[in-house]
Structure 1
Amino acid sequence: MGLRERKKEKTRLALLDAALDLFLEQGYESTTVEQIAGVVEVSPRTFFRYFTSKDHLALWFHDQGEEIMLDTMRSRPEGEPPFTALMHALRAVLSDLHDSTPEDSERFLKLRRLLDKYPHLVGQSVARSAETEQRLAGLVAARRGVDPGEDQLSHLIVAYGMSTMRVGFECPRHDGTMQEVVRRMEETIELAERSLRPGWDL
C-alpha cells in the first residue's frame, strides 16, 4: 500500500471510529454526518468520498465480508461441490476476523452493540445481506451450470450457508471477545456440514 492509499485508509478508519463512538454515546439518529466529519477534522464532502451515508457506514462489515466471499468462491476448484465452496468462502471471512487487529476487533464488537441497540439497523443489515446472497447465488448457479433466475436449489444452498453465519453471530446472545464470536461461527458451520448428506447440493 502506497503513501496515498495508507492516508486514505487512515481517514476511512478514523471516520468509522468516530461514527461508531458517536452512535453509541449520543444515539444513532442524533448523530449527523457533519458531526462525524468534525471529529476527524474533515469536511462532509470528504466523508462522502468514503461512505454513501450513515447507514452505509454502520453496515461497513457487509462490504468487507462480501468481497472476501465472492473472491473465495471464484477461486475454488471448478469441480468442487457448491456448498463446499460456499463453506470455504464463509471460513475465509472467519479467518479474516480471526486475524483482525485489536482495533478491528473493537470496531466489530461496537457494531454488534449498535445492532443490538437499534433494531431498525438490523432490518437494513438483513437487506444488505440479501444483496450478497443474490450475488453468491449467481456464482453457485454458474458452478452448477444453471440459470440463477430459474433454479431454486442454488438460492437454497446460499440461504442455508448464510444462515449458519447468522446463527453463529446471534446465538448465544451475550457480549464476548472477537475470538469467542469466531469460535461460535466455526462451530455452527461444522454443525451445518454434519447435518447434510453428501451430494445434496448437486
Structure 2
Amino acid sequence: MRTAGTVTGAVPRPGLRERKKQRTRDALVRAALELFATRGYEGTTVDDIAAAADVSQRTFFRYFASKEEVTFFVPRLAESHVVEAVRGRPPGEAPLETLRRAVLDSWDDIHATIEQLVPLDLHLRVYRVIESTPALLAAHLRRATELEEELARIIAEREGLDLDADPRPRVLVAAFGGVIRVTERLWSAGDDISVAAMHDLMAAYLDRLGPALAENWRTDRAPDRRTET
C-alpha cells in the first residue's frame, strides 16, 4: 500500500546533514578551482582554499586528502559519466562506435553536471592549469591509464572476451585514450578554449581514428612489385 504523498520509485532527498556536507564540499571545490585558475596550483595552499571557503584546514581534510584530490574532483565526475555511458550503449554496437558515442552523446549531460558545481569556463581554465603543471599532468596521465583499464574491461565484457587472453580491448581503448589526450593538449594550447571548440576538435579526431588505423596514408606510394605476377 502506498502512503499518501509519496511517489513510488522516487529518489529520496538527502537529509539536512547530508545536504550541509555537500554544500561544504562544493564550496571547497569552487574555492580551490578559482584559486588555481588565478594564482596557479603551486601558488595556492590548503590554508588558502579553506579560508576562501570560510572553513578550517581541519574541515578541508575531512573532505579531501590533498590539493591534488580536490583538483581532480570535477574531472573524475565527468569520467564516471563516460564509464556509465559506455555501459549503457546498445548491445551489438561496434566497440569503437561505443566509445565514440559514449563521449559525444553524453557531452551535454556531463557539462550540465559540472555546471551544478562550478562555472563551466572555470572548469575549462583549470584544464589548462593541469596541462601546464607537471605534478598535475603526471597525476592526470596516471588516472587516464586506470580509466583505460576500466573501459577495456567493460568492452571485453560487452564482447564476451577474456581481457587477459585477447589484447584487442586494451589496444582499442589505448588508441581511443590517445586521441582524447591529443585533443586535450591541442585544445588547451589553442586560442579558443570554449566547450564548442573542444567538442568539435574531439569529434573530428575521433572520426578519423578508424581510418587512421586502417588506411594507407600515402597517395604517392609506388606499387609493391613483389605482388605483381
Task: Say whether the fold is shared (TM-score over 0.5).
Answer: yes
1:191 to 204, 208, 225: 208
Contact 2:81–2:110 (CA under 8 A) maintained in structure 1: no
Q: Which residue of 2 aligns with 1:137?
A: 152
Code of the residue aligned with 1:190 in structure 2: it is D
Cα shift readout 1:35-57 (whole Å, capped 9, x = no counterpart): 21121112334323433321111
Runs of at least 5 residues in structure 1 that lack an aligned partner in the other structure: 198-202
Aligned to 1:179: 196
SS at 1:171's partner residue?
A: helix
Give yes or no for the alignment of 1:96 onto 2:112: no
Quickly say closer, same or farther: Cα 1:63–1:111, change in 2 above 3 A.
same
Calculate the TM-score normalised by the size of structure 1. 0.82
Structure with the larger RCO, 1 or 2 (CA within 8 Å, 6+ apart) = 1
Which residue of 1 is the match for residue 128 of structure 2?
A: 113
Any gaps of 5 or more consecutive residues in structure 2?
Answer: 1-12, 215-229
Q: Which has the larger radius of gyration?
A: 2
Task: Report the number of matched residues.
Answer: 197
Q: Which whole-Å CA distance do the structure 2 matches of 1:161 and 1:88 have between them?
A: 12
Query: Helix, strand or coil: the match of 2:119?
Result: helix
Change over 3 Å in CA distance of 1:80–1:167 after alignment to 2? same
Structure 1 match to 2:84: 71
Does the aligned pair in 1 maintain the 2:131–2:185 contact within 8 Å?
Answer: no
Normalised TM-score (structure 2): 0.74
Query: In the alignment, what sits opposite 1:200?
Result: none
Q: Post-superposition shift, 1:119?
A: 2.1
Percent identical across equivalent pairs? 32
Given that residues 97 and 178 in structure 1 are in contact (C-alpha distance below 8 angstroms), is that contact kept between their aligned partners in structure 2? no
Q: Displacement of 1:193 after TM fit?
A: 4.4
Going from structure 1 to structure 2, the CA distance change for 1:116 and 1:66 (only over 3 Å counts) comes to closer
1:190 offset after TM fit, Å?
1.9
Closer, same or farther in 2 for the Cα pair 1:60/1:84, shift >3 Å? Answer: same
Of Structure 1 and Structure 2, the greater helix share is in: 1
